[in-house]
Amino acid sequence: MEITTGPPEVRVPVSTEATDTVGTAEAVLSKRTGAPVRLADAEDLGGSDRSVVMRVRIAESPFELPRTVVVKHYGECPVEARSDPFAHEAASCQLTTALPPEARVGPELIAHDAGERLLVLEDLGRGSTLADVLFADDSRVAERALLGWARALGRLHSTTAGCEADFDALMRRLGAKSWTDPVADDIVRSASELPELLTQVLGVDTSPGMVERLNAATELLRSSRYRAFSPSDICPDNSLVTGSGVRFLDFEWGCVRDVAMDAAYLQYPFPSSWCSYALPDNLAESMLSTWRSEIAEVWPELDDDDVLLPRLFDAQLLWVWVSTWWFLPRTGETDRPIDMHMPSPRRSTALVDRWRHLRADAVSAGLDDVAEFADQVVDALVDRFGAGALHLQPYPAFRTE
């Protein structure tokens, strides 16, 4: 089984060439404005196996449009796909575009066409992503960007609190009979599959106390009063650092879920990402405080540690559990980096760091069963993959000679 970063995805074949994408975008914009629009100077922005993504210049239009826009053109969604990334992104962009401009933390949706499976989005420019900043050499810039990321996430949560019915209506309008959080799907699957995998690969049997705590934590995946919109994939390379704050990109799996699932990203940095390195002491706490300051007006009770921290621990447990299911090398597999094509830590090293943090948090919370189990997993990982797994480096921006 090939292990990839984040939730395993159904690959959507791209059948569109660049010229076809530009022509389709011209037709969609012309229909939207009611007059001919001509595009030029197409620039490939990378895309993926699912879509073509391009920056284009508005060469001719009788109406005022931005000088450049980003066009995202999806291939057909296979019938076996568990969810349609085009529908998720189109609904997500419609939802966030409806926010006041000062609250918007994603690109504005300028036009879309469900039949053509195409989006025309605001061009947020050529700024650095959060990943670029974290892999540079300026710790102060990196710290400011991470705090800006936490602020943007909190603002997004506070402005989309209670939006589930709206998001559901947008998805259904796009033809989706139902939608799901892909991480929640994988957590449910990992809850049943990881115990056997831990026994096979590490010789660790999952204790009844651990199973009980895991089952209790999955309550976060169900309806609660603390749900808001989430881009779902809020990794550093999907976060653009701009002069007006951090803006999130790529809503292919946008969903509504408990905000604790996103806030846990502040404590265990980016557990579904290829670039999950260590943060300096206390920076994660500063990020959490920044996020809380943004959501306190909507959910003042989450500013109370007695309310937030147990929910946050449950979210952290779910992230550690599902990321172990994603990344633990199976029997016969090598302990390779999380992403072979990016500057990633080795999978064993990232997992040891997460389980050590979980153990410390479990001790603080008085959860002895979880702490003991986490100890067993750490010891087994080190026995299997060597003492080098104990040392997760910081992001390059925070490394000192």
Pure H helices in 34-179: 85-97, 130-134, 139-159, 164-173
**Closest CA relative to residue 382, chosen from 343, 346, 339, 352:** 352
Report if residue 6 sits inside a domain.
no
* Domain final position from 93, 122, 151: 122
**Closest CA relative to residue 99, chosen from 304, 316, 248:** 248
| Token duo for residue 191 | 């809850």
CATH number, domain of 89, equals: 3.30.200.20
Q: Are residues 216 and 200 part of one domain?
A: yes
Q: What is each CA distance from 31 to 24, 27, 52, in whole angstroms?
A: 11, 6, 21
Three-state secondary structure string covering 293-322: HHHCCCCHHHHCHHHHHHHHHHHHHHHHHH
Q: Which residue, chain included where needed, has tokens 């790529």?
A: 250
CATH number, domain of 221, equals: 3.90.1200.10
Helix axes 305-327 and 208-217, enclosed angle (nearest 10)? 110
The pLDDT tens digits of the residues spanning 168-213 come to 999 999 988 778 888 999 999 999 999 999 999 999 999 999 999 9
* Domain final position from 65, 100, 122: 122
Q: In what order do the strands lie in the sheet with 38-44?
A: 38-44, 51-60, 68-74, 118-122, 109-113
The pLDDT tens digits of the residues spanning 343-394 come to 889 999 999 999 999 999 999 999 999 999 999 999 999 999 988 888 999 9
Report if residue 5 sits inside a domain.
no
* Domain final position from 101, 122, 143: 122
**Domain range enclosing 178:** 130-398
Whole-structure pTM value: 0.91
The pLDDT tens digits of the residues spanning 82-133 come to 788 999 999 999 999 999 988 889 999 999 999 999 999 999 988 899 999 9
The pLDDT tens digits of the residues spanning 18-58 come to 668 999 999 999 998 888 999 999 998 876 777 899 999 99
Count of domains for the chain: 2
